[in-house]
Amino acid sequence: MQRNRIDLVWSALADPTRRGMLERLAEGETNITTLAAPFAMSQPAVSKHLTVLERAGLIQRTRKGREHHIRVDPRPLAEAGTWIEHYARLWQEQFDAVDAYLKARSGKASNRKAPTRKTSNRKTSTRKRTSSSKRTRERKPR
């Protein structure tokens, strides 16, 4: 359910295989077979990862005969980096402010014990969904 480019960029980066590919591409343009070699997965799986990277705009392909040459496009990453930098600064200010506040008002160390939630036995919930329910959902066995 990706709405826009930056969603695609971040979900593309969220996979270690795809990050590995991008890291490898920092050394230079390659064809797909070479790029895929270090990864213990089937060729179609690699192809799917490359499709994800391409749809995020992070790579470009060039066909040379039967080989597809892949190179990285740094521009979407620059955008993502800009977003991070912008908010990292704001968040850091926020974080520092709270931290300073806490330090200023408390000379004491932590007495932060857990709130001790009583082991609620809600497992006995019979899901009793009163008869006035609109959507009577039936349990389906799986």
Partner DNA sequence: CCGTTGCATAACCAATAGGTTATCTATTGT
Partner DNA sequence: ACAATAGATAACCTATTGGTTATGCAACGG
Annotate 72-81 with b (16+ C-beta within 10 A) or e (fewer).
Answer: beeebbeebe
Rule CB under 8 A: say whether 47 interacts with a second copy. no
Q: Does 63 bind a second copy (CB under 8 A)?
A: yes
Report the distance separating Cα 142 and Cα 135, nearest Å: 20
Give backbone dihedrals phi and psi of 107, rounded to 5 degrees, phi first.
-85, -15
Strands (E) across the chain are located at 30-31, 59-64, 67-72
**Cβ pair 18, 54 in contact under 8 A:** no
Residue of 116, 126, 130, 136 that binds a second copy (CB under 8 A):
116
Q: Is 100 in the site for a second copy (CB under 8 A)?
A: no
User: At its nearest, how many Å lie between DNA and the CB of residue 83?
Assistant: 17
The residues of the shown chain that bind a second copy, judged by CB under 8 A, are 2-4, 7, 10-11, 13-16, 22-23, 25-31, 33-34, 36-37, 42-43, 63, 67, 71-74, 77-78, 80-81, 84-85, 87-88, 90-92, 94-95, 98, 115-117, 119-125, 127
